[in-house]
Amino acid sequence: MAAGRPLERSIGTLMTIAENIARIRANMAAAAREAGRDPKEILLVGASKMNDAAACREAVAAGIDALGENRVQEMVQKLEQHAYDGAPLHFIGHLQRNKVKQVVGHVALIQSVGSLELLDEIEKVAAARGLVQDILVEINIGEETSKSGVDADSLFPLLEAAAARQNLRLRGLMAIPPADADDTETRRFFARMRELLAKADAQHYDRAQMDILSMGMSHDYAAAIAEGATIVRVGTAIYGARDYSKKA
């Protein structure tokens, strides 16, 4: 495998995507063992927003479990470039109803379903294409007005609606805690997500398989694993800092 392009890290060293993935996996395994969990039950998703097809291919070559995209247009472009060949693709960003057709059937998992309207649109497109689309329900765990997702009080009606759809398979929950939360608050949000997943699983919804808890990013994935995450979504710690001055 090629050495890959070096990435400037905050500690001042140069590390490749492969080296970063190896380091993160070691950290994940340590966090899992400390929590009494099997590291194999936790998937690493490379959040590849604003990273090119070559970077995605390097992550795949390094054994990333899946890749995750936030933006439909970027995802479509990189699909055409075969950026994700060899790894499952997840959609992890805010999904607009008018872009559902570009996503359903092209990704293994839609992680960000946070409204009945979006749920219905995904069901309609999946039914028209004769497939079953795996989804997670996104919870706005911090009740932030700037974020999408269902609030915890409205979660269970949405879960019931999802479980009743013939062309959807409900797999679990996803959340992003507030960016300004401190470590203690973040850990509390993660613990609340674990509780909600357990409560949802206890409902024994038809056709649902409530085995995924997607939470934790570059700065807090170890805490997420300690609280039960089965998917962590890591971007900058794999690919380096994103340059938001460039138009994506």
CA dihedral over 21, 22, 26, 32, signed as positive or negative: positive
Structure-token pair, residue 158: 């949405």
What gap in Å lies between CA 81 and CA 142, rounded to an integer? 37
Which range (67-76, 137-146, 166-175, 217-226) has the least confidence? 137-146
Mean of pLDDT values over 111-121: 97
Smallest CA-to-CA distance from 220 within 233, 208, 203 is with 233
Q: How confident is the model at residue 242 (pLDDT cuts 50, 70, 90)?
A: confident
- For residue 175, the surrounding DSSP H or E stretch is strand 168-175
pTM of the model: 0.92
